[in-house]
């Protein structure tokens, strides 16, 4: 911790601050600068009590307190320099092979899901996505098929061999969802629902953690830390767009998270351009950018008839556009050194 004192502080005032720092288990180190005095407090910030309250305790003396240690450990690349890979049935995520997870926003019917699953498989997708429990802004909107949707996903997996990813919404459904899915998705609205993160982690299933709408990268890494701290190391981060002032797109897809997560963490990074753009016509360009920047996988919403979709139709691409997208991605995947 670095503690910056206000200008013109007396020796006595300074001594009181130093005493408090020692009391909290840190060793203070005083530096007298030109304009003000700075104290370095030496000690482990993760295990000792925080010094951030010093500004409150000594409002006339302490100007500000700055942490110098990173607050996340297990998700950090410092803790685990090599890339982590995650096994999902026969697939390995985070390795040399590039993956595409595709499927409908919501599971609506057996026919809709199987048609989509077969089409995305034929186009080259390796994992099937589909929502059974849906978080909806309004209580009057379709909330998902629930367990019936999970059963349809399991059926689609049996028929196509594609592993399945679906969202978990409630702590009470953690075991139920884990019984059907291969990857548990935690949505943006629940990205700091720590009870849900813990419940998901305990199932032992791989977790895909979406970034919250206004989540700083540090907070996202710390939310991931909840998963690893509960003994589940199969974590992927998924950027899906943040909330900004711009209204042309539904969210602002922050593709810089790809090199940033690669730098700070060993966990794979997945890009969801469907939520990010909120418009099918931007999805294709977003996917190309994500591949070029080094993402490990894409998560794309695909629907046999987007206009008939029961949720978020505006951002789902049709089977034809998806097949075309997969063809167009190939040279970029090769250019990025992936398979």
User: Which residues ranging from 10 to 39 are in contact with a second copy (CB under 8 A)?
Assistant: 20, 29, 31-36, 38
Choose between 92 and 336: whose C-beta lies nearer to a second copy.
336
In which region does residue 146 sit, left (phi positive, over 0), alpha (psi from -120 to 50) or beta (all else)? left
In angstroms, the CA 120 to CA 155 distance is 16
Question: Rounded to the nearest whole angstrom, what is the least distance from the CB of residue 83 to a second copy in the complex?
Answer: 16
Total of chain residues touching a second copy, rule CB under 8 A: 108
Q: Report 270-299 residues binding a second copy (CB under 8 A).
A: 276-277, 280-282, 284-286, 288-294
Pattern 80-119, a second copy, x by CB under 8 A: ----------------------------------------
306 binds a second copy per the rule CB under 8 A: yes
43 binds a second copy per the rule CB under 8 A: yes
Question: Rounded to the nearest whole angstrom, what is the least distance from the CB of residue 278 to a second copy in the complex?
Answer: 10
Choose between 164 and 284: whose C-beta lies nearer to a second copy.
284
Closest CA relative to residue 165, chosen from 186, 194, 193 = 186
In angstroms, the CA 222 to CA 285 distance is 30
Choose between 6 and 97: whose C-beta lies nearer to a second copy.
6
147 binds a second copy per the rule CB under 8 A: no
Question: Rounded to the nearest whole angstrom, what is the least distance from the CB of residue 113 to a second copy in the complex?
Answer: 18
Q: Report 196-225 residues binding a second copy (CB under 8 A).
A: 196, 213-214, 216-219, 222-223, 225
Q: What are residue 62's DSSP bridge partners?
A: 5
Cβ of 195: how many Cβ atoms within 10 Å? 11
In sequence order, the 6+-apart residues with CB closer than 8 A to the CB of 237 are: 209, 211, 220, 224, 257, 261, 265, 267, 268, 269, 270
In angstroms, the CA 122 to CA 114 distance is 12
Question: Rounded to the nearest whole angstrom, what is the least distance from the CB of residue 156 to a second copy in the complex?
Answer: 23
Instruction: Choose, by CB under 8 A, the member of 126, 160, 265, 316 that binds a second copy.
Output: 316
Choose between 54 and 123: whose C-beta lies nearer to a second copy.
54
In sequence order, the 6+-apart residues with CB closer than 8 A to the CB of 70 are: 76, 78
Q: Which long-range contacts (CB under 8 A, 24 or more apart) does 74-80 make?
A: 74/225, 74/228, 74/229, 74/233, 75/221, 75/224, 75/225, 75/228, 75/235, 75/264, 75/265, 75/266, 75/267, 76/221, 76/264, 76/265, 76/266, 77/263, 77/264, 77/265, 77/266, 79/266, 80/266
Instruction: Choose, by CB under 8 A, the member of 9, 13, 14, 40 that binds a second copy.
Output: 40
269 binds a second copy per the rule CB under 8 A: no
Pattern 179-198, a second copy, x by CB under 8 A: ----------xx-xxxxx--
Question: Rounded to the nearest whole angstrom, what is the least distance from the CB of residue 252 to a second copy in the complex?
Answer: 5
Question: Rounded to the nearest whole angstrom, what is the least distance from the CB of residue 263 to a second copy in the complex?
Answer: 7
């Amino acid at each position: 911790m670095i503690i910056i004192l206000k200008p013109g502080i007396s020796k006595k005032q300074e001594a009181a601050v130093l005493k408090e720092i020692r009391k909290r288990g840190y060793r203070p180190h005083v530096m007298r600068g030109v304009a003000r005095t700075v104290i370095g407090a030496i000690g482990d910030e993760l295990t000792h009590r925080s010094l951030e309250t010093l500004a409150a305790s000594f409002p006339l003396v302490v100007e500000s307190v700055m942490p110098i240690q990173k607050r996340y450990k297990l998700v950090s690349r410092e803790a685990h320099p090599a890339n982590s890979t995650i096994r999902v049935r026969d697939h390995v995520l985070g390795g040399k092979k590039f993956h595409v997870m595709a499927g409908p926003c919501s599971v609506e019917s057996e026919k809709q899901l199987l048609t989509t699953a077969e089409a995305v498989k034929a186009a080259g997708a390796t994992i099937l996505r589909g929502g059974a429990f849906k978080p909806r802004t309004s209580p009057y909107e379709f909330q998902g098929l629930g367990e019936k949707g999970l059963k349809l996903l399991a059926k689609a997996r049996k028929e196509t061999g594609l592993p399945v990813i679906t969202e978990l919404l409630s702590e009470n459904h953690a075991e139920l969802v884990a019984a059907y899915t291969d990857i548990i998705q935690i949505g943006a609205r629940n990205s700091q629902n720590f009870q849900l993160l813990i419940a998901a982690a305990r199932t032992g299933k791989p977790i895909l953690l979406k970034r919250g709408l206004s989540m700083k990268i540090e907070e996202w890494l710390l939310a991931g830390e909840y998963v690893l701290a509960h003994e589940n190391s199969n974590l992927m981060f998924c950027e899906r767009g943040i909330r900004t002032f711009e209204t042309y797109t539904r969210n602002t897809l922050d593709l810089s998270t790809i090199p940033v997560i690669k730098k700070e963490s060993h966990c794979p990074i997945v890009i969801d351009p469907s939520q990010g753009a909120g418009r099918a016509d931007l999805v294709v360009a977003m996917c190309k950018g994500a591949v070029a920047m080094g993402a490990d996988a894409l998560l794309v919403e695909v629907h046999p008839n987007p206009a008939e979709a029961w949720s978020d139709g505006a951002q789902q691409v049709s089977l034809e556009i998806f097949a075309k997208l997969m063809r167009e991605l190939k040279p970029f995947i090769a250019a990025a050194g992936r398979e």
